[in-house]
Amino acid sequence: MIKDVNKIVLAYSGGLDTSVILKWLQQEYGCEVVTFTADLGQKEEIEPARSKAKSAGVKEIFIEDLREEFVRDYVFPMFRANAIYEGEYLLGTSIARPLIAKRLVEIAHETGSNTISHGATGKGNDQVRFELGAYAINPEIKVIAPWREWDLLSREKLLKYAENNNIPVEMKHKSGGSPYSMDANLLHISYEGRHLEDPKNTPEESMWRWSVSPKDAPDDSEEITIGFKSGDPISLNGSNKSPHEVLELLNNIGGKHGIGRLDLVENRYVGMKARGCYETPGGTILLKAHRAIESLTLDREVAHLKDEMMPRYASLIYNGYWWSPERVAMQTLIDHTQLNVNGWVKLSFYKGNITILGRDSDSSLFDPEIATFEDDDGAFDHQDAAGFIKLNALRLRIANKKIKL
């Protein structure tokens, strides 16, 4: 157990894990617990967390709408980098942890607490993400991670503890047993546990919450236009929107057309492989659109440099290093590349598919006079290509003479 704890700020959702943790902290540490619930756009009622915390004897309850800050200061900077982990994962859970960690530490300071607590398990990535973020902001903060201290090491044991301590639990699975382990925010919703723990099992259709199956999506396609400024989406169909409004609307459109489902076996930072399912409809659309507008506005070598950096950048976020100096340095370069990423992209959605219909920008580097297949009036001298090819072939020709492959 952590020593010299005067007050604890708990990241609290009101769900199974954190409801049990709240009671456990009160019993084991015998001190006041402050609850913090972040509204990150998880599409569920936040206020019930207040009544649950009150009924558990909590006196200081923080419930905050962080949707705009989350999308503006975390999601959008990440999408400027086109970040994808292991080729598929859009980092929906990972990118929310730095903001939650920041507010936990800030609330601890505001309430005179020297300790924070979270509900991440000892097998997962989130414990690393929360704690790296907290220590980066306040090196002296104490952290209680109940999953590393108690013996309630399964969701079935959590349910039994809740029953024994009269803790109300919703979200039980209709077939009995523990519910899926889920995490949701404006960028995504994730599912782990139950039969997903065997990678050969197909996800239940009833599990998915944000999207229809592509085969059940509308038979008619839908088109939208996304406007960009400095790499960030600022409008939909010509109407200016705030960051969180953009993502929320894209989620609704994408979900309706069966866009953004992912079933992934990923490599966790702690060393194991884990299987998770994700719904990221708005993020899937945004990534496609952002790459389309970049294709017009970024210099070739800058675009390729970004693509080379992206896997490292994505790993930093996945592993919990949002507040690290290397991520900040990379972000500075990435943001500089986005200064002229302005314009619009038109897209079509149909049964799980996204099609780019067109794009335009006042900052476009596309020159139709040079790119044309018709007569370019001398804008491009075809004879220049011969020397270009010979120079680039020089090392290959020398190698052929000296070394027989």
Active site residues: 17, 97, 126, 181
Determine if residue 377 is left, alpha or beta; phi over 0 gives left, psi from -120 to 50 gives alpha, anything else beta.
Answer: left
What is the amino acid identity at position 130?
A: F
Q: How far apart are CA 265 and CA 337, in angstroms?
A: 32
Q: What is the DSSP letter of 74?
A: I
Looking only at Cα atoms, what is the longest distance across the chain?
84
Query: 298: which 2 tokens?
Result: 């970024």
Instruction: For residue 64, give the H/E element and its range.
Output: strand 61-65
No. of helices (H) and no. of strands (E), the chain: 13, 14
Strand order in the sheet with 261-267: 181-184, 189-192, 273-279, 261-267
Instruction: For residue 285, give the H/E element and its range.
Output: helix 281-297
Q: How far apart are CA 25 and CA 221, in angstroms?
A: 52
Residues 6+ apart with CB under 8 A from 336: none
Give the DSSP letter string of 216-231. GS-SS-EEEEEEEETT
The answer to whether 129 and 98 are in contact (CB under 8 A) is yes
Q: How far apart are CA 230 and CA 339, in angstroms?
A: 5
Instruction: For residue 160, give the H/E element and its range.
Output: helix 155-164
Query: 324: which 2 tokens?
Result: 């690290």
CA distance between the termini of the chain: 64
Q: How far apart are CA 45 and CA 63, in angstroms?
A: 11
Q: What is the DSSP letter of 45?
A: -
